[in-house]
């Protein structure tokens, strides 16, 4: 099988496995230990609670990001179309899956060209950061942004996933200087994210010094990509090794809190195990500016845009009620309500 064919087979595998298998991390996000301060006398009206916010100078109706998932295949085009239509309706942001396939096969382009469905959303292009060591440079990254008419570029970090893939790209040597060069060369902001094992405060400092515009801590507690890779291989030893990493990573709450405390000025996205509007509220109180969600939305997007919109409506209602009973009339107020931690 050619390298190009392998990329497309891998993308189809990833979607299928996420939909059919148990790929949940055995580590929780840590958000279950966060208790927001309840206010029995909120002194505000529920109907006046304002969920709107802005991120990277783009206005959003709700602080929600459809985290990067897929692209490049016929099935992923249908999924992305449903996600984009729902994102446009709800006024939330969206990240594309890795666009590497689109650089190698023109047939993959349409699954990433979503502006015809979502002309107004905050849209992120996406490529693996490690590809900067495998022939992808500023010119190619600019092409990715232009093909999607994106507002920013996500570089995703996934060393564990690459290490577990038999075809993985594992040369992460001297990436920081290349990230620095890219940040200073592109005309759009560069955001760096993990894929579900978390970004530490030390790595966050390095990324900030390199010039990234925002960080998605993408902690452990949601989809475990080591489990996804376990289901992809038929080799028993490789499956066993991958399974041993099911509880690997920095829980989302821990990653978010530590990065925010050390670097309060950097815009932060929280993702990894978020499922409800209450989870979103907790992440905002911990320092996030935007909250990402993938798994729950993927299942809905295989059905229709309406099903995704239904999820958005439920999340919006939960977040609004949560803010109301915390006495927070807007997102900025929610960030300052305070919280406690239980065991």
Q: What are phi and psi of 155, to 5 degrees?
A: -105, 120
- For residue 153, which of 171, 173, 133, 131 has the smallest C-alpha distance? 131
Three-state secondary structure along 32-80?
HHEEECCCCCCCCCHHHCECCEEECCEEECCCEEECCCCCCCHHHHHHH
Let me know the angle formed at the C-alpha of 216 by 147 and 263, rounded to the nearest 5 degrees: 130
What pLDDT sits at residue 4?
52
* pLDDT, mean of residues 178-191: 98
What pLDDT sits at residue 282?
98
Contacts of residue 214, Cβ cutoff 8 Å, sequence gap at least 6: 55, 56, 152, 189, 191, 266, 267, 268, 269, 289
Average pLDDT, the chain: 95
pLDDT band at 126 (very low <50, low <70, confident <90, very high): very high
What pLDDT sits at residue 343?
77
Instruction: Give kind and range of the element (H or E) at residue 255.
Output: helix 252-262
Q: pLDDT of 251-263, one tens digit each?
A: 999 999 999 999 8
pLDDT band at 293 (very low <50, low <70, confident <90, very high): very high
Measure the CA–CA gap between 283 and 271, rounded to whole angstroms. Answer: 9
What pLDDT sits at residue 5?
59
- Give the residue carrying structure tokens 């040369």: 171
Measure the CA–CA gap between 104 and 114, rounded to whole angstroms. Answer: 19
What pLDDT sits at residue 294?
96
Q: pLDDT of 93-119, one tens digit each?
A: 999 999 998 888 877 889 999 999 999
Judged against a pLDDT cut of 60, whether residue 127 lies above it is answered with: yes
Is 265 in a helix, a strand, or coil?
A: coil
Judged against a pLDDT cut of 90, whether residue 6 lies above it is answered with: no
Do β-strands 190-194 and 152-157 pair in parallel, antiparallel, or remain unpaired?
A: parallel
Stretch among 71-80, 218-227, 265-274, 295-304 having the lowest mean pLDDT: 71-80
Q: Is the pTM higher than 0.85?
A: yes
Q: pLDDT of 321-336, one tens digit each?
A: 999 999 999 999 999 9
* pLDDT, mean of residues 116-125: 98
Domains detected in the chain: 3-341 (3.20.20.70)
What pLDDT sits at residue 289?
98
pLDDT band at 1 (very low <50, low <70, confident <90, very high): very low
**CB burial of residue 140 (10 Å; 0-12, 13-18, 19+):** middle
What pLDDT sits at residue 166?
87
């Amino acid at each position: 099988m050619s390298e190009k064919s392998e990329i497309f087979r891998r993308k189809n595998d990833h979607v299928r496995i996420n939909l059919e298998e148990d790929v949940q991390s055995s580590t929780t996000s840590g958000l279950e230990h966060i208790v927001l301060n309840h206010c029995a006398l909120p002194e505000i009206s529920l109907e006046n609670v304002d969920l709107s916010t802005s991120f990277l100078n783009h206005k959003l109706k709700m602080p929600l990001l459809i985290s990067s998932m897929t692209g490049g295949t016929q099935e992923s085009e249908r999924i992305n179309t449903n996600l984009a239509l729902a994102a446009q309706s709800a006024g939330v942001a969206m990240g594309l899956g890795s666009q590497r396939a689109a650089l190698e096969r023109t047939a993959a382009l349409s699954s990433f060209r979503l502006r015809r469905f979502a002309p107004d959303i905050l849209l992120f292009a996406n490529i693996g950061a490690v590809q900067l060591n495998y022939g992808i440079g500023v010119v190619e990254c600019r092409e990715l942004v232009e093909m999607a008419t994106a507002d920013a570029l996500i570089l995703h970090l996934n060393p564990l996933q690459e290490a577990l893939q038999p075809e993985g790209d594992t040369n992460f040597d001297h990436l920081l200087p290349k990230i620095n060069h890219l940040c200073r060369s592109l005309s759009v902001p560069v955001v760096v994210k993990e894929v579900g094992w978390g970004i530490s405060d030390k790595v966050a400092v390095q990324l900030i010094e390199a010039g990234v515009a925002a960080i998605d801590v993408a902690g452990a507690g949601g989809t475990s990509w080591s489990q996804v890779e376990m289901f992809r291989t038929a080799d028993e030893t490789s499956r066993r090794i991958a399974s041993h990493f099911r509880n690997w990573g920095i829980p989302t709450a821990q990653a978010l809190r530590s990065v925010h405390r050390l670097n309060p000025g950097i815009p932060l996205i929280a993702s990894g195990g978020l499922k409800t509007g209450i989870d979103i509220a907790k992440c905002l109180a911990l320092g996030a500016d935007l909250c990402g969600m993938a798994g729950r939305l993927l299942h809905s997007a295989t059905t229709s845009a309406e099903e995704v919109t239904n999820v958005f409506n439920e999340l919006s209602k939960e977040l609004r009620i949560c803010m109301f009973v915390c006495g927070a009339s807007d997102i900025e107020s929610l960030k300052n309500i305070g919280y406690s931690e239980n065991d």
